[in-house]
Chains A and B, each alone.
Chain A
Amino acid sequence: DVKVTQSSRYLVKRTGEKVFLECVQDMDHENMFWYRQDPGLGLRLIYFSYDVKMKEKGDIPEGYSVSREKKERFSLILESASTNQTSMYLCASSLRGVNTEAFFGQGTRLTVV
């Protein structure tokens, strides 16, 4: 079974802190994604990576950056956490190709106080 593992289920951080959310997949997938999920807004794409060291901005990249130094790991970085970044963060991975589904991690619920 494909496994996508996010480093934390719950996280509480203070405003202004630098926050790292880690995601690891074990199926050699080329693509990895970070989404943010908020009530009434569904899933919104923050960043997408289609290869090591390659990334593309999604719909809401402001205030975030990403790092993909190894194929299996995709990190989301909140440079200076703010309360409006309190949310559920979902990582996903997939093979390249229009017919392939994405596999999701369990999610990290981040609270910024």
Chain B
Amino acid sequence: GDSVTQMEGPVTLSEEAFLTINCTYTATGYPSLFWYVQYPGEGLQLLLKATKADDKGSNKGFEATYRKETTSFHLEKGSVQVSDSAVYFCALRAPDFYGGSQGNLIFGKGTKLSVKP
């Protein structure tokens, strides 16, 4: 079945360091890919998305490129801030059809990021 694998955490960085969180996926067809962020005590928020191969999603200085050849969607940020401390989830959504379960969002296990001043 479809699945998402992301790097294990926790990840601890100093402020202004470069961030990469790896994400690879397995899916049939052409899924859309997402990064969600969860700040302490809150629900998940969409950070960025890409809906087809070679698309780059970006938001708040974060970027990720949909690489079909390597089935990857790695999250990057050039200079992290303390306020970026959160849990980051990679997710995919497979093509759906009415009456089927393929409209589900499938998540990786999450990567906890801590940024120190």
Contact = CB atoms under 8 A, between A and B. Distances in A.
A43 B107 contact: yes
A26 interface: no
Interface stretch (A13-21, A75-83, A101-109): A101-109
Contact of B44 (A31, A90, A98, A99): A90
Interface residues of A, number: 29
Contacts of A45: 104-106
Given A98-B94, A98-B95, A104-B45, A48 B103 contact: yes
A56 B101 contact: yes
Interface in A81-113: 90, 92, 94, 96-107
B77 interface: no
Contacts of A98: 30-32, 51, 93-96, 103
B105 to A, nearest CB: 5
Interface string B43-54: 111100101000
Interface hub of B45, B101, B105, B110 (most chain A Cβ within 10 A): B105
A50 interface: yes
Per DSSP, chain A at the interface is: strand
A74 interface: no
A101 B108 contact: no
A90 B103 CA distance: 17
A40 B87 CA distance: 12
Contact of A104 (B44, B49, B98, B110): B44
28 contacts: A31-B103, A33-B105, A42-B107, A42-B108, A42-B109, A45-B104, A45-B106, A48-B103, A48-B104, A50-B96, A50-B98, A58-B104, A90-B43, A90-B44, A92-B105, A97-B96, A98-B32, A98-B93, A98-B94, A98-B96, A99-B93, A101-B34, A102-B105, A103-B46, A104-B36, A104-B44, A104-B45, A105-B43
A-B residue pairs, 3 tightest by C-beta: A42-B109, A104-B43, A43-B107
Given A97-B103, A100-B93, 16 more contacts: A40-B109, A42-B110, A43-B44, A48-B104, A50-B96, A50-B98, A56-B101, A58-B104, A94-B105, A96-B96, A99-B93, A101-B46, A104-B43, A104-B45, A106-B42, A106-B43
